[in-house]
Structure 1
Amino acid sequence: MVAIILSAGVGFYALGREGLRSKVYGCSLLSLVWYYLIAQLIISVLEMILDSIPFQYGIVLNVIFFGVCIIGLVSTEIAKEEIERIDLKVKEKVFYIKSLQTDIENLANKAPDEVTKKMLKNLVEAIRYSDPMSSPQLAAIENKIKSKIIVLSDAITAFDTSIIKSSCDELQQLITDRNRICKTMK
C-alpha cells in the first residue's frame, strides 16, 4: 500500500510542475519509484506465498526497501535541483555572446552596401563559432568588444566605410583574442 501511495504521490509531484524541462527531470524520479513499486509488489507476493517466514522479517525487509527508495528519491531531487541551477548559470554566461551576435546581425541588416554586409556576416560567423561561455576574467576584452560595436554602429549610421572596415578588423582580432583567452582558461 505504501509503495502504491508513494508512486502516486511522486507521479503527481514530478509531472505536476510547470515547464517541459522540469517534467523531463522528473522522469528520473518516476523511474526510481516504479522500480521500487515493482520490487515491492514482488516481495509482497513472495511474503504472502512463503508464510513459514515470520512476518517481522517481512516488515524489516519492507522498511529497508522503503528507506532505500526514499534516499534515492531525495538524492535524485537534489541532483535535479543542482542541474537546474547549473543550467541557469550557463544561460547567464552564454547571454553575452548571444547578445553580441544579435547586435552584429542587426547591424548587418542596416549595412549600406554589400561589402559591409559581407564583413559583418563574417563577423557574425566568427562570433557564432567562438566560445560561448563568459567569465569575470574576460570582462576587459568583452568591454572593448562592446565599445567597438558602438563605434561600428555609429559608423554604419554615418555610412563611413573606412571606420566600418577598421572596426570590423579590430572586432575580428578582439574576438580571436577572446577565444585565445578562453582556451587558456580551460
Structure 2
Amino acid sequence: MKKNTKLAYAVLGIVFILFNVIAFAVPTDKTTAFWIAYAFTVVAFALQVGIWNAAFKVTETLKSKFLGVPIIYVGVIYLVVQLIAFVAFMVFPIIPSWVTVIVCASILGISAICLFSADVARDEINRVEEKVNQKVFYIRELQADVEVLAEQEQNPEIKTSLTRLAEKIRYSDPMSNVALADLEARIQEKVAALRTTDHKLEIIVELDSLLTQRNKKAKILK
C-alpha cells in the first residue's frame, strides 16, 4: 500500500510539472487574471498532499483506506475543476481579474465544504461501527465462554448440552440493548456458575430459558 501511495504522489508531481510547462510554454499574455488563476491552481496541487494524508489518517487498514476514498475523490475533482478554470483564464486573458478571484475562490470554498462533509461522514461511519462492535461483543464473548466449557467437560451428556447451548447463543440476536442489561447480567452469572457448580444440567436449562427471553425481547426492541 505504501508503494501505491508513493506512486500516487509521483503521478501528482508529474502532473504538476506538466501543468507548469504548459502554463508558461503557451504563448498567451500573462495578465493579472493568469497569475491569480495560477496561484489558486498551485494551492490546489499543494492541498492534494494534505487531503490524501487526511484521507488515510488514524490507521492503515484496508477499511480505513476504503473510507478515505470519497475524500480523495473530492480532492481530485477539486484539482481537475481548478485546472479547467486555469485553462479558461489562460486562453482568455482579457477576463477581469475580479472574475478570476470569485471563480477560483468559489471552487476552493465549495470543495472545502465537500471535503469537510466527506470527512464527517467517514468519522460517523467509524463511530457507528464502533458502537455496533460494542453491542455485539457481549454475545460473542458469551459464546466463546460456553464453547470453552464444552471443550473442557468430561461428562458426555453435559458436554452435548453445552454444545447445543453454544449453538443457540451463536444464532441469537447479536445486538445488545440497554433494556436487556439486567437479563444479560443474569445470563453471565449463570455461565460463570457453570465453572464451579455440581448442577450444570439445571443451570443449562435455565440459561436456555433466559436466552429465549432475551432473543424475544431483542426482537421487540428493534
TM range (shorter): 0.7 to 0.9
Question: How far did 1:82 drift?
Answer: 2.0
Out of 27, 34, 49, the residue aligned to residue 69 of structure 2 is 27
CA-atom RMSD in angstroms: 1.8
> Which of 1 and 2 has greater Rg?
2
User: Pairwise mapping of residues 147-186 of structure 1 onto structure 2 (< 5 A)?
Assistant: 147-155=189-197, 160=198, 163-186=199-222
Indicate the residue corresponding to 2:15 in structure 1: none
SS of the residue 1:154 aligns to: coil
Which segments of structure 1 move beyond 4 Å, counting only runs of 4 or more? none
User: Pairwise mapping of residues 111-122 of structure 1 onto structure 2 (< 5 A)?
Assistant: 111-122=153-164
The one-letter amino acid paired with 2:171 is: Y
Out of 128, 132, 145, the residue aligned to residue 86 of structure 1 is 128
Unaligned runs of 5+ in 1: none
Tell me if structure 2 keeps the 8 A contact 1:104–1:124: yes
Q: 1:83 to 1:112 in 2, by over 3 A?
A: same
Q: Tell me how far apart the structure 1 counterparts of residues 133 and 58 of structure 2 sit (CA, whole Å).
A: 21
Q: Tell me how far apart the structure 2 counterparts of residues 17 and 92 of structure 1 sit (CA, whole Å).
A: 20
Out of 96, 99, 117, the residue aligned to residue 75 of structure 1 is 117
Would you say how many aligned residue pairs link Structure 1 and Structure 2?
180
Q: Tell me how far apart the structure 2 counterparts of residues 144 and 74 of structure 1 sit (CA, whole Å).
A: 45
Q: 1:140 to 1:93 in 2, by over 3 A?
A: same
Question: How far did 1:16 drift?
Answer: 5.0
Indicate the residue corresponding to 2:43 in structure 1: 2
The one-letter amino acid paired with 1:29 is: I
Q: Tell me how far apart the structure 1 counterparts of residues 85 and 64 of structure 2 sit (CA, whole Å).
A: 32
Q: What are the Cα deviations for residues 142-186 of structure 1, in whole angstroms up to 9, with x where unaligned? A: 12211211232223xxxx4xx222222221111111011011111
Q: Name the TM-score, length of structure 1 as normaliser.
A: 0.87
In the alignment, structure 1 residue 128 sits paired with structure 2 residue 170: yes
Unaligned runs of 5+ in 2: 1-41
SS of the residue 1:153 aligns to: coil
Q: Tell me how far apart the structure 1 counterparts of residues 50 and 190 of structure 2 sit (CA, whole Å).
A: 55
Moved more, 62-71 or 89-98: 89-98
Moved more, 100-109 or 41-50: 41-50
Q: Tell me how far apart the structure 2 counterparts of residues 115 and 48 of structure 1 sit (CA, whole Å).
A: 85
The one-letter amino acid paired with 2:160 is: K
Out of 53, 70, 75, the residue aligned to residue 12 of structure 1 is 53
Moved more, 14-23 or 60-69: 14-23
Q: Tell me how far apart the structure 1 counterparts of residues 93 and 196 of structure 2 sit (CA, whole Å).
A: 87
Indicate the residue corresponding to 1:47 in structure 2: 89
SS of the residue 1:53 aligns to: coil
Tell me if structure 2 keeps the 8 A contact 1:17–1:23: no
Q: Name the TM-score, length of structure 2 as normaliser.
A: 0.74
Question: How far did 1:87 drift?
Answer: 2.1
